[in-house]
Each structure stands twice: as structure tokens, then as C-alpha cells.
Amino acid sequence: MDEQNTENRIEFLKGDKVLWMVILVISIFSIFPVYSASSNLEYIVNNGTTTGHVIKHMFFVVLGLVIMRVVGVIKYEYIGKLSSILLGLMIVLLVVTMFTGQTIDGASASRWLKIPGTPISFQPSSFAFLMLIIYLCRYLTKKITRERLPIENIMYIFGPILLVFVLVAKDNGSTALMILMVSVVVLVIGQLHWKYIAGFISASFIAIVLFLIIALNTNLIGGNRVHTWMSRIETFTSSKAKTADVDDESVKAKNYQVMQAKAAIVHGGITGMGPGKSALKQMLPQSASDFIFAVIVEEYGLIGAAFLISLYLIMMIRIVMIASKMPAFFGSLLVLSLGVMIFIQLSVNIAVAVNLIPVTGQPLPLISYGGTSMLVTYLQLGIILNISSRIQIYDEEGMGKKQSVAEINDIA
């Protein structure tokens, strides 16, 4: 009887158990820095209460874990087959967001779409990004050995990527660039011919340059954020320049976010100031979301930051292991692609906090305050855990032969 109960408890964590443990530890840990940093929203931004924000965050953590587990009982092949329909829906929502989008929590871009009749808002761009990657994985799996006609690649691969990129780029440049980066990686590991990938990169580069020229010199693209991007790049380069004009007050004002983040990291030292004792969180814009890593370093020190990064590293290693063990090409490609999405978002957030790249609005996976990003990350991890649970179906030892061409063609 006890053995049966034990089996039931273990089965609740369906899929890779190590990955499950890492996700749970990060999720629980996230409550503490969000509780600390959200005081900025209460006392500086005058938005809600600290208790209210942490309760909201805990709600999304629990909801995310539930979604992750529910996704685990759905065949991931079905998710792949639905991706084209869901991608089409997300594209429609992106178009709607362009005209009716809202700003929340002091953001300067209209990225959020409010659900009619409710106070709930979400970012369609995050879901569109996810659906695009799943769609690409499925399409690249179908008829993998057949040489596709150029028109097919343009219509069914490059077309959706560029369409989503264009719809997202106007209000969310960093996410749009991530969409292009991850898509190219998916095309590479999905074994699309190099000549098409090179052509797509070249065409994308030309399109981006033209977009920038038009946006900077004309009024044809109304409400774009190109000037904001250029300002951030100029601010970043000026912060790196060792010249006298770096001390100019206007430069200091533009560098305010980065300066406060760097100060918080330095203030943390080796062991940190202790949970909730960040001195700079009140002066750090977006301390609960975009710059939460700086708050973590200040409160938990280099040791705490190293521990957190180690957890993320274990997560990435387990994702690669799952992909390598999965005999199904679609499953393996999908796991790697979702892992790349999480890794790039993680890297960008930390790189911004330590001033390695210009400021962007990318959250720290599973930690930053914000519902849409958290739920999308849990959804990504839910699909990965789903696929990991299917490995033993192919081979009880967890390792099996890679699929034949016929099997690959049938799976998607």
C-alpha cells in the first residue's frame, strides 16, 4: 500500500525529476526577491501594495505549475498540429494590439492587450513567439528529406517569421530580435539547407536596415520606438567610453538604470545584504522585473547569484540531455528550440544587469514579476517535461535508436 502511494506521488511529477526539482526550487525562491523588489512599485510607482504584488506573483507561480502539469498529459504531437492554428490566432491578436494595445506598470510601449470585460491584460507577443517556434519545429519535421521549392520556404517558413517579427518590432524591439535569432537557430538545427538560411539572414538584415532608415527619417511608421532603441544604444556605448564627456550630467541621467544596477551588484559583495535588505531597489527602475537580478545579487551576494545561475545551468543541461535521448526528431528539435528560447532570455536579462548589452525589457525566467512571461516559460517547460516523459515509451532504458525517415514524416 505504501509502495503504491509512493508511486502515485512520484508520478505526479511526470517527466524529468531533476528538471522538476530545479523548476520548483527557482519558483519558490522567486517569491523572496519579488516581495522585496515590489516595494518599489508601492512606494515609488504608487502602484498597489507589496503584499498584493507578492500574492499576485504567488498566484501566477501556482497557476504556472498547474499549467505545466496539465500540458504534461497532452501528447506533444497534438500541440505541434495545433500550432499553425494557434499561430494564426496570435497574429490576429498582434494586429489588434497594434491598434488597441495598452501600457501598464509605467512601461512606455503598448504591448498589452486587455481581455474585454475583465481587468486582465497579457502580451500576445510572448505567446506568438512560442507558437511560431513550435510551428517551425513541426514544419521542418514534415517531409524532412525532400528538397522544398523556394516558394515553399518563403511562404511557410520565412513568411511567418518575418510577419511575426514586423508585428512585434514596432513596440518590442528586443523581443523581435530574439524572434529572429531563435528562428535562425531552429532552422539550423532543423536541417534546413544552408543556402536558404543564408538568404533569409541577408534578407532580414536588409529589411531591418530599411525599417530603421524609414522610421528614423520619415513619419510612415507611426508610434515606433526606434528613437528609444537608438538612445539606449548610444547610452550603452557612452557608458563604455572612457572619455571626459562621460561625466556629463545628461549622460549620467541616461545611464541611471545601469548605474543603479551596477551599484546594487557591487553593494551585494560576496555574501549580500540579506533577504529584503536591498538599499537600492527603491532607486532602481523595474526592480521587480527587468533588473531583478541586480536586486538578487545585492541581497544574496555573489554566492546567491552563483547558486541561482547553477540552477539555470542544471536546467539547460537537463534540456540538452532530454533532447539527445529523445528518438523522435520532432520531440528532440522542439526541446532544443524551447531550451534556446529560455537560454537567450536568461542571458539577455543578466547581460543587461551587468551592463554587457544595452538595456532591454526581457524578464528573468521564472523569477521576474509579470504574469504573461511567467506563464509562457512554464508552458515551455511543461512541453519539455511532456517530451521527457515520452522517452521511455520508445525505449524502457531511456535510450533508443533515432527514427527512420518514414517515422519522422509521420510523427508531425
DSSP per-residue string spanning 339-370: HHHHHHHHHHHHHHHTTSS----PPPTTTSS-
Structure-block grid coordinates of residue 238: 557612452
Give the span between the Cα atoms of 387 and 322, in whole angstroms.
Answer: 8
- Specify the higher pLDDT residue, 224 or 406: 224
Structural domain contains residue 12: no
Q: How confident is the model over 140-154, as pLDDT tens digits? A: 988 666 677 788 888
| 93 close to 113: Cβ distance less than 8 angstroms | yes
pLDDT of residue 268: 84
| 135 close to 88: Cβ distance less than 8 angstroms | no
pLDDT of residue 110: 60
Q: Which residue range(s) make up the domain with 333?
A: 17-411
Q: How confident is the model over 203-234, as pLDDT tens digits? A: 888 888 887 787 777 776 665 666 666 777 77
Give the span between the Cα atoms of 35 and 325, in whole angstroms.
Answer: 39
Long-range CB pairs of 265-271 (<8 Å, 24+ gap) are 265/294, 265/297, 265/298, 265/353, 265/354, 267/298, 268/297, 268/298, 268/299, 268/300, 268/301, 268/302, 268/305, 269/301, 269/302, 270/301, 270/302, 270/303, 271/301, 271/302, 271/303
pLDDT of residue 309: 96
What mean pLDDT is predicted for residues 95-110?
65
**Predicted structure pTM score:** 0.86
Structural domain contains residue 6: no
Structural domain contains residue 373: yes
Give the span between the Cα atoms of 62 and 65, in whole angstroms.
Answer: 5
Structural domain contains residue 4: no
Structural domain contains residue 9: no
Structural domain contains residue 7: no
| 140 close to 387: Cβ distance less than 8 angstroms | no
pLDDT of residue 1: 44
pLDDT of residue 51: 87
Structural domain contains residue 53: yes
Check whether 293 has a pLDDT greater than 80.
yes
pLDDT-derived band at 378, boundaries 50, 70, 90: very high
Q: Which residues contact 404 (CB under 8 A, 6 or more apart)?
A: none
Structural domain contains residue 1: no
Mean pLDDT of the chain: 81
Q: How confident is the model over 153-182, as pLDDT tens digits? A: 888 999 999 999 988 887 788 888 899 999
| 33 close to 403: Cβ distance less than 8 angstroms | no
Number of domains the chain is built from: 1
- Specify the higher pLDDT residue, 101 or 378: 378
